[in-house]
Amino acid sequence: MTELYFNPRDFYREEELIELTQSLIKIPSHKDTPGFEREVAEFINQFLLNEGIESELHPVIDGRPNIVATIRGDGSGHSLMFNGHTDRVLPYNMTIEPFSAFIDDGKIFGRGSVDMKGALACFMMTLVAVKRSGFIPGGDLIFTGVIGEEGKSEGTEYIVNSNIRADAAIVGEPSDYEYAIGHRGLEWFDVTFYGKASHSGKPELGVNAIEQAMTFINKVKEVLYPKLK
């Protein structure tokens, strides 16, 4: 078994991590941004390449790319994937400047600082520390920065359907400083209800589609909600 004989924090300065997080926050990557995640993906890819890390962009949909970066292991151990999404929710109606990335009371403020530009910066700096140290892990260390998590998760679907594999993965979703073995997934459904028109004087001859939808929604609340909880 390969053991870690160095402290990763010996190979980067805290200021580097702070500045990297701020740089990521300052790049808009929400759905109303031209190119969506492209600019931040290109920034991440170039940052890793500048550190001598194997990294490339994988176009997924509409020119929006994932980033896949790898530090190759010697094959004696297990591989580990760091996974995080490059998109973030819309910045409107915020009470602060969303892309200023200012620091107050030891915290970095800005849209996406927690979900999840901060985690991306941590993953990136981990790869940088390993690379700078010259340490060769037993298995591959893989970073995947994916698109579209706030929508239909096309970036993660791409990774799942690719030949990119790891023995374990750490996803940078915020979890209130607690470990979590999983997060709820996402599935989109279209449900169609069919009705039949009738005269208001004889409603019994028709079918009210809204009533059918109401019955369905109530059943979802009664049966599905408890299962999901």
CB-based burial label for 129 (10 Å; 0-12, 13-18, 19+): buried
Work out the pLDDT band at 29, boundaries 50, 70, 90. very high
> What is the pLDDT at residue 55?
98
Is 19 one of the annotated active-site residues of the chain? no
Lowest mean pLDDT across 89-98, 141-150, 183-192: 183-192
Structure confidence by residue, pLDDT tens digits, 67-92 = 999 999 999 999 999 999 999 999 99
| Structural element, H or E, at residue 26 | helix 14-26
70's tokens: 């790898």
pLDDT tens digits, residue range 131-162?
999 999 999 999 999 999 999 899 999 999 99
Residue 19, Cβ neighbours under 10 Å: how many? 13
- The one catalytic residue among 37, 115, 140, 149: 149
Query: Does the annotation mark 39 as catalytic?
Result: no
Region 183-207: mean pLDDT is 89
Q: Taking the CA of residue 60 as centre, how many other CA atoms within 13 Å lie in the half-sphere pointing to its CB?
A: 30
| Six token digits for residue 148 | 């579209």
Question: Averaged over 36-53, what is the pLDDT?
Answer: 98
Count of Cβ atoms closer than 10 Å to residue 100 Cβ: 14
Of 5-9, 33-37, 56-60, 207-211, where does mean pLDDT reach its minimum?
5-9
CATH 3.40.630.10 in the chain, residues? Answer: 8-171
Q: What is the pTM of this model?
A: 0.83
> Looking at the predicted structure, is the pLDDT value of residue 2 above 90?
no
Of 156, 152, 122, 137, nearest to 12 by C-alpha is 122
Four-residue CA torsion sign, 63, 152, 66, 85:
positive
CATH 3.10.50.40 matches 8-171: no
Which is catalytic among the residues 87, 154, 178, 190? 87
